[in-house]
Amino acid sequence: MLDSLLSTWTVPVAFAGVAWGILGGALPGISPSITMALLLPLTYGMDPTLAIVMLASTYVGAEYGGSIPAILIRTPGTNAAAATVTDGYAMKQQGRAGEALGISLYSGFLGGLFGLAVLVTLAEPLSNLALAFTPQAYFALGVLGLSIIASLSRESLVKGLIAGVLGLIIATIGTDPVTGLNRFTFDSPELLSGVPPILVMVGLFAVGELLVQTSQPAVQAIPERARIRFPGPAMWRRIALPQLIGSTIGTVEGVLPGGGGAVSSFLAYNEARRWSRRPEQFGHGSPEGIAAPEAANNTVACTALVPMLSLGIPGSNSAAILLGGFLMHGLLPGPMLFVRSAEVVDGLYAGLLAANVAMVIVGYGIMGPCIWLVSRPKPLLMAFIFALVVSGVFAIETSLFHVGVALGFGVFGYVMKYVGVPFLPMVLGVVLGFMVESNYRRALVLSDGDHMIFIQDRLSLVLLSLGCVFVVGSLLSSRRRGATDKDMEPNAEPKE
Amino acid sequence: MQSTRDLVFGSATLALAIGYYALAVRIPESQLADGVGPQGLPRIYAYLLAGLSLVLVVRSLRMRRREQEAQRSTSDSQRPEPAAKAQLLRPAGVIAIGVAYVVAVPWLGYVVSLAGLIAATSYYLGGGPPRRLVVVALSGATLFWLLFVVLLGIQHPAGFWPSLF
């Protein structure tokens, strides 16, 4: 890790990623996953390790960036920053905006370091399962991943499963992995190698969200300048417990697929209030009400990578975009990543360490540009984001066909959001489709077509059983809650 | 109403499942094929999608009946207003601008087309006086050209401009 940290470009790239992430996260409506999706095509020509570092740093920066408009204009830049709004804006009204921003930055920094320690500790031991993975276990792992993500979607299970199957269907376009026959290509040479997952991600997350934003009202401009004030020793002591609570909850939520920054922030806020000696101050400008959620969402930015790196299952939209970055560079996250591409994993750890330090330095200096950017007219911002998307997608393989495909997925993403169908299962279906199909067929070749091989293999049996448990559990819990009422909620936001 | 959205979406995915199945069974057999074959999993996916779509359609029909009963007992104030419908159509204009860009860029070249995309999108979304937008769009397109073509070395379409010189 030290070698990676000392390499010429890791630190500058982490700084650049954090700066991009803070700017993107600070724009209301532009989530960390969209900020990463916009950057994804630009990393195509980069060294794989640096590309991954840049994307991961963007994730770290965006989680902090979301708190800037939350504190200054009562509009969270990201879903995860929604829990920061109440006390952050109350502190701003009391003339303590700089202090609130400082607490947010400091708590995010500590949360990020905590998350990184958890990531380094957990990811590699989990990946040691690698030697036990047979083709049938890989197939079962793919099925488990899809079951978890679909059943933990905040929208309904049926819609989550439909999205997952649609993703698997998209993954069948192109050349058949066993026979080499062309499937669903409609004699188009552009479709021979299938639909690249990056186009699905940029289309759904970036173009889809852009279309959603065109029908949303603009946010107010930030009227004043704010200077960050870092907390002193007395404040460190006061916010230490909420930070610990936030980091612990962020760890649990991040490691479990389907959790996310927004859920962990609200849980951390509630727990911090429950354990506080001054619970009555929550909602009226309590520093603890900022420290807990900010520590939580920055912890998630690292711990969400545990299932992604070790099992190849992204637990959140942002982790899915990072997975897209791995795939774009021919790296397959999962059990074998630590064996085949250990240098990339080391580089990622080093990059995350650099990114968390960079967050403090860049976060302090970038306040002016952030305020300027958030105050730009929304139509201009949208137009420039649109220009970045079409230019970036073209840059991947210098193909206008790809731009058209990304626009198509954007329209589909808008429809999905309007109906309340989650994106993540579909992205996961596209990403895991090849693994699911090739390993399913390889396993059946080994067993002469006998499906019992999936039950006879112990690891496969455990993984498939877990998948069933998640789906049945989700069905039972939604029935208990009244699934119908839940489905009536329009336009539920995806997890970040 | 959410039930209508679910109904339309469920019907569309059901139609997609049928169309996908029809295409899957037409995939030719191969001498190299394993027991499952290239059409094996696509057929399973088609069955899965059809089944799930049917569940969504049936559930949305039941939900629709409940919603209609609830509306009858209250008032009809929940009908979507024309303004809300217009807002829903707004993204269609943005996509049309994107499609126009894809069509125009081989002829007009990257910088001019991108300037057109920026100006048209911001004007369409209410970005202010056209003259100002043209200046901003041209500056923006030049910045993108510097980033992608000069800095990153990615060759975007030059259009008919080189043939003039």
- For chain A, what is the domain count? 1
User: In chain B, what residues touch A485 (CB-CB under 8 Å)?
Assistant: none
Look at residue A496 in the predicted model and tell me its pLDDT: 55
Residues 6+ apart with CB under 8 A from A45: A395, B152, B153, B154
Residue A493 lies in a domain: no
Interface pTM, i.e. ipTM: 0.90
Nearest to B28 among A181, A184, A421 (CB): A181
Shortest alpha-carbon distance between residue B69 and chain A (Å): 15
User: In chain B, what residues touch A47 (CB-CB under 8 Å)?
Assistant: none
User: In chain B, what residues touch A386 (CB-CB under 8 Å)?
Assistant: 94, 97-98, 117-118, 121
Look at residue B13 in the predicted model and tell me its pLDDT: 96
Look at residue A5 in the predicted model and tell me its pLDDT: 61
Say how many C-beta atoms besides its own lie within 10 A of residue A153's C-beta: 26
Residue A373 main-chain phi, psi, to 5 deg: -65, -45
Look at residue A427 in the predicted model and tell me its pLDDT: 87
Residue A259 lies in a domain: yes
Size of interface A-B (CB pairs under 8 A): 192
> Which runs of consecutive H residues, i.e. helices, occur in A153-287?
157-171, 197-201, 208-214, 233-255, 261-275
Asked if B155 lies within 8 A of A158 by C-beta distance, the reply is no
Residue A260 lies in a domain: yes
Asked if A214 lies within 8 A of B36 by C-beta distance, the reply is no
Residue A382 lies in a domain: yes
Query: Range of A433's domain?
Result: 2-487
The pLDDT tens digits of the residues spanning B3-55 come to 888 999 999 999 999 999 999 999 887 776 777 888 889 999 999 999 999 99
Residue A494 lies in a domain: no
Residue A399 lies in a domain: yes
Residues 6+ apart with CB under 8 A from B88: A215, A418
> Which runs of consecutive H residues, i.e. helices, occur in A152-196?
157-171
Alpha-carbon distance values, A205 to A34, A152, B18, B100, B105 (Å): 5, 19, 28, 21, 24
Q: Which of A493, A75, A79 has its CA nearest to residue A88?
A: A75
For every one of its 496 residues, what pLDDT tens digit does chain A have, with 9 covering 90 and above?
Answer: 556 666 778 899 999 999 999 998 888 777 788 889 888 888 888 899 999 999 999 999 998 888 888 888 777 777 778 888 889 989 988 888 889 999 999 999 999 999 999 999 988 787 777 667 788 988 898 888 888 777 766 568 899 999 999 999 999 999 888 888 889 998 888 888 889 888 898 899 889 888 988 877 666 666 666 778 888 899 989 999 999 999 999 998 888 766 566 778 888 998 898 888 888 888 888 999 999 999 998 998 899 888 888 888 887 788 888 988 998 888 888 777 888 888 888 899 999 999 999 999 998 888 888 878 877 888 888 899 899 989 988 988 888 999 999 999 999 999 998 898 988 889 889 988 888 898 899 898 888 888 899 999 988 999 899 889 888 888 887 777 665 444 444 444 444 5
Residues 6+ apart with CB under 8 A from A415: B9
Nearest to B38 among A169, A181, A436 (CB): A181
Residue A319 lies in a domain: yes
Nearest to A390 among B37, B48, B117 (CB): B117
Query: What is the 8-class DSSP label of residue B149?
Result: I
Return d(Cα B38, Cα A158) in angstroms, integer.
27
Residue A183 main-chain phi, psi, to 5 deg: -125, 135
- Read out DSSP for A82-147? HHHHHHHHHHHHTT-HHHHHHHHHHHHHHHHHHHHHHHHHHHHHHHGGGGG--HHHHHHHHHHHHH
Query: What is the 8-class DSSP label of residue A78?
Result: S
Residues 6+ apart with CB under 8 A from A200: A167, A170, A409, A426, A427, A430
Q: Which residue of A has its CA nearest to B98?
A: A407
Asked if B127 lies within 8 A of A415 by C-beta distance, the reply is no
Look at residue B97 in the predicted model and tell me its pLDDT: 95
Look at residue A492 in the predicted model and tell me its pLDDT: 42
Look at residue A366 in the predicted model and tell me its pLDDT: 85
Q: H/E/C letters for each residue in A298-363?
A: HHHHHHCHHHHHHHCCCCCHHHHHHHHHHHHCCCCCCCCHHHHCHHHHHHHHHHHHHHHHHHHHHH
